[in-house]
Amino acid sequence: MSDPFSDKKARASAWFRTLRDDIVSAFHALEDSRSSGPLSDAPAGRMEVSTTRRASDDGSDAGGGEMSVMRAGRVFEKVGVNISTVHGTLGERAQAAMAARKGIPGMAEDPRFWASGISLVAHMQNPHVPAVHMNTRMFWTPHAWWFGGGSDLNPAIEYDEDTEHFHTVQKDALDPHGADHYPRFKAWADEYFFITHRNRPRGVGGVFMDDHCTDDWEADFALTQDMGRAFLPAFVPLVERRRVQDWSEEDKHKQLVHRGLYAEYNLVYDRGTKFGLETGHDANAVLMSLPPLAKWV
C-alpha cells in the first residue's frame, strides 16, 4: 500500500538535515574565531560525526540518524547536533512517551509510527555564554501526525539583554504565523522546562510546542521551519558578545552547579529522553544532552 505521506516525510527529514548542516557550519565559524579564557589559543574544535541506529525488537531496519558532537573546543565545551529518522511499532510505554496528549488516536489498533527531527544541546566553555537547547520534530502515525519543538536558553550567569534578544528573535519568527503563537509557546516553555522538585525553571525560557496539528500540513511545516531558522540569529550573537569576557573560578563554579539542574531535568522529566530510550534509539545519542562536567552542592 502506498503511503500518501511519503513526500511530506521526505521533505521534513531533508529539512532537519539542512538545518543541522547550517548550525554545524555556524558553530565551526565560532570555533575559528578567538575567545577568552584558558583555551583561547587552543586548536578550533570540530564536530565528530557518527551513525546511530534504532534497535527494533525483531532485528529489522528501524531507521537511525547521525550524531555530531564536539568536545573541548575553544567556545564549546560540549555540543551535540543530532538528526534522526526512525520508524516501527510502539508499545504502550513508548506511546505514553511519544506525545503530550492523552492517548494517540488509533495506536491501540495500529501501533506503527514514523518520527524525524533535529536535537541540539550546547554547553559552553565560558560561564558567561549561556547553554542552549533546540529541537524540532515531526511525528506520524496511520491516524495522526503532528509537529513539535522549540528552543530555550539556559544561562548560568543571567544578562537581561541576552534574554530579551533571545525572546525577541523567537517572537519575530512566530508572529507572521499568528499573533497568539509566541505568548502561547512561551508560556508552554515556561511550564514544560520547569524543574518541579527544585521549584524553579531550568533557564530563562524560550518557546515550545507539542502535538501541533492544524490539519494544514504545509502551514504547520512552515511554522516549524521558521522556529528552526530562528535559532542561529537568537543564539549566535549572544555567544559573540559573551565569549570574550574573562571569567573567574567562582563563575565556573556557578556554571557547573547550574549544569546539575540541566542534568536533573533531562533525566527526570524530558519527554524526548524518555521516548528515545523507550523506543530503542542509540543511548549515546539520546543522552548527548548531558553536560561533560557538573556539580551539586
Reference 230, options 286, 266, 181; nearest CA is 181
The grid coordinates listed for 43 are: 586548536
Residue found under cell 539542574: 261
Return the ∠ at Cα 127 (arms to 17 and 166), rounded to 5°.
50
Cβ(166)–Cβ(205) under 8 Å?
Answer: no
The grid coordinates listed for 182 are: 509566541
Reference 46, options 81, 5, 15, 4; nearest CA is 81
CA–CA dist 263, 233 (Å, integer): 26
Q: Which of 133, 167, 181, 281 is catalytic?
A: 133
SS3 sequence of 163-213: HHHHHHHHHHHHHHHCCCHHHHHHHHHHHHCEEHHHCEECCCEEEEEEEEC
Please say if 133 is a catalytic residue: yes
Can you say how many angstroms the Cα of residue 102 is from the centroid of all Cα atoms in its chain? 23
Cβ(291)–Cβ(78) under 8 Å?
Answer: yes
Residues with catalytic roles: 133
